[in-house]
Structure 1
């Protein structure tokens, strides 16, 4: 178990080095390509209720994706984190400029005073963050397990889509029994179907 965690940390450190090596214009251009691929993706276009994420360090930036989703008449759902219980609650966000507050993880999240909870079974597509992924859909997140706990509770029909740069793809993610896979991965070069 410790060996797997150490390997995951090594991968996280390598991804951090990768992000630090990218020129900001390359990062922006590749992020835009991933965004455009997502907005051309049939499963995304057909969905009504979309679970997105606010990125942390070493994840594909989502601020433009979140704003653009409203132009496509999507109902945008973002996670609010309860760090004491290691859980997250999904909440509908009507206006990201007014409905988000700084959360316990140091990132923006839905303000519970303004946003309503959304049941997991209503999510049509879940865009899942990752620090690293492999072509089989294995993923490494922040290490807190929030998404590993929520993915199994999403409906079978809900597509779980990871967004990463090609440089975040690793040959094989070391998986533990509680780790969950994504169905599809979108990079700046391709769409990888694991399903």
Structure 2
């Protein structure tokens, strides 16, 4: 019997094939439509403090446009800083790219010396990365479980939202017992509330 990890790898491979068969312009247009839908979504529009992420995988939704439009709407943007050794997650307000540090994409994150720490309880909405999702809020992430741990710590009142392409929503994602689910998916075609 195929194990959970192998099934998840196969799902990601199928999505990669599906998206690579489309033109770059078509994919970018779908991404723009998903971001447009996010900015029509009441939970995001009303949120004052939004947690974002730095993409680690090419299938994760790029956030440059989300950041720019959020700053234009006077939102406070926060990025997580994961301390894997001490198993601590801190959250920092990021006013612009000068607040970031890191030698490469995997190490990129907010610089605690340049960014102000924000209490987790103040976060209204959290955008959660992923490369694949299902309609029940299951996800396949490229973050080594960092965001599963993060979602488990966020207050229940913080909406956990994923922005993705409809092409990345599959029938079912096999999940491990400790995995966490997003509350809402915003795609280029619809908004899906976890059932």
| Aligned residue in 2 for 1:171 | 171
CA deviations over 1:52-71 (Å, ceiling 9, x no partner): 11222211111110111111
Pairwise CA RMSD of aligned residues?
Answer: 2.1
Matches for 1:175-194 after TM superposition, within 5 Å: 175-194=175-194
| Aligned residue in 2 for 1:10 | 10
Question: Which secondary structure does the structure 1 equivalent of 2:36 belong to?
Answer: helix
Q: CA deviation at 1:48?
A: 0.7
TM-score by length of 2: 0.91
Q: Contact (CA 8 Å) 1:86, 1:144: kept in 2 or not?
A: no
Separation in 1, partners of 2:84, 2:6? 23
Question: Which secondary structure does the structure 1 equivalent of 2:50 belong to?
Answer: strand
Q: CA deviation at 1:83?
A: 4.9
- The reply to whether residue 80 of structure 1 matches residue 81 of structure 2 is yes
| Aligned residue in 2 for 1:46 | 46
TM-aligned CA distance change 1:101 to 1:143, over 3 Å: closer
Matches for 1:110-125 after TM superposition, within 5 Å: 110-125=110-125
Aligned pair count reads: 194
- Higher relative contact order at CA 8 Å, sep ≥6: structure 1 or structure 2? 2
Unmatched 5+ residue regions in structure 1?
Answer: none
Unmatched 5+ residue regions in structure 2?
Answer: none
Separation in 1, partners of 2:126, 2:104? 22
| Aligned residue in 2 for 1:19 | 19
Q: CA deviation at 1:15?
A: 2.3
Deviates more, 1:50-59 or 1:175-184: 50-59
| Aligned residue in 2 for 1:158 | 158
